[in-house]
């Protein structure tokens, strides 16, 4: 069964360093997302991406964050200068899109745990 | 902004018991998604609902799209230890975004 894959599974970094989290969405999906989850809390929306551009972003997704689809398969999240409060699980998700403009069901990867020291 | 509130927040149940949980919104949704999250893993889609009043099953799980379109319910029958985890509802907030509920943490006592 097709799945969303994420790398790395865990990354430890120093405050102020740049981090890139990578995702390979399901191959025939059109919509891509990043969510994050601080330990013990709910899953929070960061950004959605469609047709090679950001569709929507949350207040969390400030200038320190960026997303890119550098080729036909990868979808990346970059944090330019990490802060302690960026420590969280980051989940990539994709959906295939449905008739009528619905994005359809989201399928999630296993997540990348980011620890900022 | 929009929020999805889930109740109960957590529950302990005995193996074999049935479980009910719900999700409520302050605004109308046209889709409800239910996910389960195991510790350290990503959310896994359980059931998707697209019509008010819809009742959909997936094995021992049954979910309903509330008639008011502001709520949804998830039932688990005859719970087993592997049902342990956090259950999240999610709904679309705009065209390109789903928001998640606060979660119901389920613990099953063998």
Mean pLDDT taken over chain B: 93
Average pLDDT across chain A, whole number: 93
For residue B33, which residues of chain A lie inside 8 Å, CB to CB?
A: 105-106
| Sequence-distant (≥ 6) Cβ neighbours of residue A20 within 8 angstroms | A76, A77, A78
A108 vs B48: CB contact, 8 Å cut-off? Answer: no
CA dihedral B46, B48, B49, B54 (to 10 degrees): -50
Residuewise pLDDT in 10s, chain B (110 residues): 678 999 999 999 899 999 999 999 999 998 999 999 998 899 999 999 999 999 999 999 999 999 999 999 999 999 999 999 999 999 988 778 999 999 999 998 87
Q: How many percent of chain A have pLDDT more than 70? A: 97
Residue A1 burial by Cβ neighbours in a 10 Å radius (0-12, 13-18, 19+): exposed
Cβ–Cβ gap A56/B102 under 8 Å: no
Question: Per-residue pLDDT tens for A53-91?
Answer: 999 999 999 999 999 998 878 999 999 999 999 999 999
Give the chain A residue whose CA is nearest to the CA of B94.
A56
Q: Encode pLDDT of B63-91 as tens digits.
A: 999 999 999 999 999 999 999 999 999 99
Tell me whether residues A42 and B94 touch, CB distance under 8 A.
no
């Amino acid at each position: 069964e097709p799945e969303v894959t994420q790398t790395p599974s865990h990354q430890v970094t120093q405050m102020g360093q740049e981090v890139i989290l990578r995702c390979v969405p399901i191959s025939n999906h059109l919509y891509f997302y990043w969510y994050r989850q601080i330990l013990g809390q709910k899953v929070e929306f960061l950004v959605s991406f469609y047709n090679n551009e950001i569709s929507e972003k949350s207040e969390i997704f400030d200038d320190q964050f960026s997303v890119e689809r550098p080729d036909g398969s990868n979808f990346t999240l970059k944090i330019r200068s990490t802060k302690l409060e960026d420590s969280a699980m980051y989940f990539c998700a994709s959906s295939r899109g449905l008739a009528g403009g619905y994005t359809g069901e989201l399928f999630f990867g296993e997540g990348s745990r980011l620890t900022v020291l | 902004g929009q929020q999805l509130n889930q109740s109960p927040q957590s529950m302990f149940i005995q193996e074999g018991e049935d479980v009910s949980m719900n999700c409520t919104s302050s605004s109308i949704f046209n889709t409800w998604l239910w996910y389960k999250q195991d510790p350290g893993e990503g959310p896994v889609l359980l059931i998707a609902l697209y019509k008010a009043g819809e009742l959909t099953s997936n094995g021992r799980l049954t979910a309903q799209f509330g008639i008011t379109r502001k709520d949804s319910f998830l039932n688990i029958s005859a719970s087993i230890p592997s049902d342990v985890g956090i259950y999240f509802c999610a709904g679309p907030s705009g065209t390109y975004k789903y928001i998640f509920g606060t979660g119901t943490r389920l613990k099953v006592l063998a």
